[in-house]
Structure 1
Amino acid sequence: MKKISVLFFSFFFLLAFSQVDTAQVVVPNRKNSVDALSKPYVILISADGFRYDYLKKYNAQNLLRFAESGVTAKAMIPSFPTITFPNHWSLITGLYPSHHGLIDNFFYDYKKEKFYAMSRKENAEDGTWYGGTPLWSLAEKNGTLSASMMWVGSASNAGGMRPSYYYHYHEKFSPAEKVEKVLDWLKLPENVRPHFISLYFPEVDGGGHHFGPDAKETADAVQLIDEAVKNLVEKVNQLGLKNVNFIFVADHGMIKVNTENPLEIPQMLRDKTRFDYYNAQTLVRVVVKDPTEVKAAYRDLKKNKTDDYKVYLDKRFPRKLKFSARDDRFNRIGQILLVPEPSKIFLEKGKKTSAGKHGYNPYKVPEMKAVFVAFGPAFKENKKIGEFQNVNVYPVITDILGLKISEPIDGKQKVAKEILK
Structure 2
Amino acid sequence: MHPVSCSLLLQLLFCQSHANKVLLISLDGFRWDYIEVARNAGRNVSAFEAIAVSGFRAEVKNVFPTITFPTHFAIATGRYVENHGLYNNKFWEPRLERYFSYSRPADSMDPDFLNYNQNEPIWITNQRHGKRSCIFYWPGSQSIYANKYPFATFGLYSDVPTLEFRVDRVMDWLSLDDFNFCMFYFNEPDSTAHRYGPDSEEVLDAIERVNKGIAYLLKRIKASPKLSGKVNLIVTGDHGMAQIPPENRINLHEAVTVDEYFGNVSPVLVGLWPNATQSVQEMYNAIVSKKLNNCSVWLKEDLPERFHVKRSYRAPPIFILADNGFLINREIDQYNTPKGKSV
TM-score normalized with structure 2 length: 0.84
Report how many aligned residue pairs link the two structures: 308
Deviation at 1:56, TM superposition (A): 1.3
Q: Is the 8 A contact 2:134 2:153 kept in 1?
A: yes
Distance in 2 (alpha carbons) for counterparts of 1:159 and 1:222: 38
Indicate the SS of the match to 1:158. Answer: coil
Matching of residue 45 in structure 1 with residue 15 in structure 2: no
Matches within 5 A, 1:337-352: 337-351=319-333
Distance in 2 (alpha carbons) for counterparts of 1:52 and 1:116: 29
Q: Deviations over 1:213-247 (max 9, x none)?
A: 11111111111111211211221122123521000
Deviation at 1:51, TM superposition (A): 0.6
Question: Aligned AA for 2:56?
Answer: V
Q: Deviations over 1:169-207 (max 9, x none)?
A: 11221111111111111233x2xx311000111120012
Question: Aligned AA for 1:148?
Answer: I
Residue of 165, 169, 185 corresponding to 2:173: 185
Number of the residue aligned with 2:130: 143
Q: Is the 8 A contact 1:279 1:346 kept in 2?
A: no
Residue of 67, 75, 86 corresponding to 1:91: 75
Q: Deviations over 1:298-334 (max 9, x none)?
A: 222112122221211111111111122xx22xx1221
The sequence identity of aligned pairs, in percent, is: 27
Residue of 135, 138, 142 corresponding to 1:155: 142
Number of the residue aligned with 2:245: 258
Residue of 109, 113, 116 corresponding to 2:100: 116
Indicate the SS of the match to 1:255. Answer: coil
Question: Aligned AA for 1:280?
Answer: S
Residue of 268, 274, 283 corresponding to 1:282: 268
Of the structure 1 ranges 61-70 and 294-303, higher mean CA displacement relative to structure 2 is found in: 294-303
Indicate the SS of the match to 1:342. Answer: coil
Q: Is the 8 A contact 1:43 1:245 kept in 2?
A: yes
Cα separation, partners in 2 of 1:313 and 1:88, compared to 1, 3 Å: same
Deviation at 1:261, TM superposition (A): 4.4
Q: Deviations over 1:241-270 (max 9, x none)?
A: 352100001110111113344221134532
Matching of residue 101 in structure 1 with residue 116 in structure 2: no
Number of the residue aligned with 2:109: 125
Number of the residue aligned with 2:51: 66
Indicate the SS of the match to 2:57. Answer: strand
Q: Deviations over 1:372-404 (max 9, x none)?
A: xxxxxxxxxxxxxxxxxxxxxxxxxxxxxxxxx
Distance in 1 (alpha carbons) for counterparts of 2:128 and 2:274: 41
Q: Is the 8 A contact 1:41 1:243 kept in 2?
A: yes
Q: Is the 8 A contact 1:256 1:343 kept in 2?
A: yes
Question: Aligned AA for 1:70?
Answer: G
Matches within 5 A, 1:155-234: 155-168=142-155, 169-188=157-176, 190=177, 193-234=178-219
Q: Is the 8 A contact 1:311 1:337 kept in 2?
A: yes
Q: Is the 8 A contact 1:266 1:301 kept in 2?
A: no
Any gaps of 5 or more consecutive residues in structure 1?
A: 1-10, 12-37, 353-421
Indicate the SS of the match to 1:263. Answer: strand
TM-score normalized with structure 1 length: 0.69
Any gaps of 5 or more consecutive residues in structure 2?
A: 3-17, 40-44, 335-343
Bigger RCO (CA 8 Å, 6+ sep): 1
Indicate the SS of the match to 2:222. Answer: helix
Distance in 2 (alpha carbons) for counterparts of 1:68 and 1:85: 31
